[in-house]
Amino acid sequence: MTKQLRFVVFGLVLLSTAGPTLSAKEAQPSAADPVLEQRVMKLSRELRCLVCQNETLADSRADLAEDLRTQIREQMKAGKSDKEIINYLTTRYGKFILYNPPVDPTTYLLWFGPFVLLLAGLFLLFRYVKQRSGLIAESPLSAEERRQAEALLAAESGKETA
Amino acid sequence: MTRFAIPLVLFILLVAFLAIGLRHDPHEVPSPLIDKPAPAFQLAQLRDPSQTFSAADMRGKVWLLNVWASWCVTCRDEHPLLLQYARSGALPIYGLNYKDKREDALSWLGELGDPYVLSVSDNDGRVGIDYGVYGAPETYLIDRDGIIRFKQIGPVTPDIWQKTILPLAQKLNE
Q: Which CATH class is domain A2-100?
A: mainly alpha
Across the interface, do A64 and B33 touch by the CB < 8 Å criterion?
no
B26 CA: distance to closest CA in chain A (Å): 9
ipTM of the complex: 0.71
Which chain B residues contact residue A67 at CB under 8 A?
124-125, 129
**What amino acid occupies position B79?**
H
Angle at A81 between CA B35 and CA B128, to 5 degrees: 40
Counted across chains A and B, CB pairs separated by less than 8 A come out at: 46
Q: What's residue A62's pLDDT?
A: 80
Q: Other C-beta atoms within 10 Å of A50: how many?
A: 23
Q: How is chain A split into domains, by residue range?
A: 2-100, 106-161
Q: Taking Cα atoms as reference points, which of B82, B90, B89 lies closest to residue B137?
A: B82
- Length of chain B, please? 174
Residue B2: pLDDT above 90?
Answer: no
User: What pLDDT is recorded for position A112?
Assistant: 93
The reported pLDDT for the residue numbered A4 is: 59
DSSP string, A38-78: HHHHHHHTTBB-SSSTTSBTTT---HHHHHHHHHHHHHHHT
Cis peptide upstream of residue B137 (ω within 30 degrees of 0) = yes
Residue B114 carries which DSSP code? -
A128 in B contact zone (CB under 8 Å): no
CATH code of residue B159: 3.40.30.10
Q: What is the average pLDDT across B74-81?
A: 92
Counting residues of chain B whose pLDDT is more than 70, the rounded percentage is 99
Among the listed residues B126, B129, B161, B168, the one whose alpha carbon sits nearest the alpha carbon of residue A89:
B129
DSSP strand pairing (B93-98 vs B119-122): parallel
Span A136-161, pLDDT tens digits: 777 788 888 889 989 999 887 766 65
pLDDT exceeds 70 at position B87: yes
Chain B residue whose CA is closest to A65: B134
- For A93, the closest of B71, B74, B134 (CB atoms) is B134
How far apart are the C-alpha atoms of B44 and B51, rounded to whole Å?
Answer: 6
- What's the pLDDT at A1? 46
| C-alpha to C-alpha distance for B155 and B75, rounded to whole angstroms | 7
Across the interface, whether the CB atoms of B129 and A92 are under 8 A apart is answered yes
| Tens digits of residue pLDDT in B113-147 | 999 999 999 988 889 988 988 888 999 999 999 99
Q: pLDDT value at position A118?
A: 96
B33 in reach of chain A (CB within 8 A): yes
Q: Is a pLDDT exceeding 80 seen at residue B160?
A: yes
Whether residue B133 lies inside any domain: the answer is yes
- State the nearest Cα–Cα gap between A67 and chain B, in angstroms: 8
Domain count, chain B: 1
B18 touches A at CB < 8 Å: no
pTM: predicted TM-score of the whole model, two decimal places? 0.69
Question: Cα torsion for B46, B52, B58, B64, to the nearest 10°?
Answer: 20
Using the Cβ of B35 and the Cβ atoms of chain A, whether some distance falls under 8 Å is answered with no
Q: What is the pLDDT of residue A12?
A: 54
Quote the pLDDT of residue A25: 47
% of chain B surpassing 90 pLDDT: 44
Q: Which residues of chain A have pLDDT under 70?
A: 1-31, 158-162
Query: Using CA atoms, how far apart are residues B75 and B61, in angstroms rounded to an integer?
Result: 25
Closest residue in B to A2 (Cα–Cα): B73
Residue B160 lies in a domain: yes
What is the structure's pLDDT at A8?
57
Phi, psi angle pair for B94, to nearest 5°: -110, 150
Contacts A96 to B, Cβ<8 Å: 29-30
Q: Can you spell out the DSSP letters for B117-136?
A: S-EEEETTSHHHHHTT--SS
What does the DSSP 8-state code read for residue B37? B
Find chain B residues with C-beta within 8 A of A71's C-beta: 129
Across the interface, whether the CB atoms of B27 and A68 are under 8 A apart is answered: no
